[in-house]
Amino acid sequence: MSNNKRRTFLKGSIAAGAVGIAAAAGLLSPVRVLAAWPADAFTLRNHEASLTAVTGTSDLPAGDIEIFAPEIAENGAMVSVTIESGMPDVSEMALFVVQNGQPLAATFLLGASAQPMVSIRVKMAETSDVVAAVKSDGAWYGASREVKVTLGGCGG
């Protein structure tokens, strides 16, 4: 038994050492992973500006997009929202909460074989439209749904 524990410990130590060396050499740099992150879009305070920063326009045509969210959220601190699309070749999705101080809630980059569905919990300061943007075949489409909030979640 003690030989198995020793071997497990040695394997773990060697693996941790290899990861440490790779990180020190710059091979595991988070900058490379987050290179496409739209940092500016997350700091914008206006919905139209935020939407334009992500999609290139503030006027999105309707698409085959469904937003699943409660009609009335009793607690705005945690509102479940799911975006699903039946469009082909979906490569990106984004979620906006129009009345929040920072409207862009999330962006998602989808792989070629990913199912076009994402789910997230967001904070909502007040009753607001929730807007989903979906990029299909290189073009952006949108859908919106109102969610009424009875108790604010962003400090309210």
pLDDT, block means (10 residues), the chain with 156 residues: 67 63 57 58 89 94 97 92 96 95 93 92 94 96 95 56
pLDDT recorded at residue 39: 75
> What pTM does this model have?
0.74
DSSP string, the chain: -HHHHHHHHHHHHHHHHHHHHHHHTTSS-HHHHTTT--HHHHH--SHHHHHHHHHS-S-PPB-SEEEE--SEES-TTSEEEEEEE--SSEEEEEEEETTSSS-EEEEEE--TT--SEEEEEE--SSSEEEEEEEEETTEEEEEEEEEEESS-SS--
pLDDT recorded at residue 35: 47
pLDDT recorded at residue 156: 47
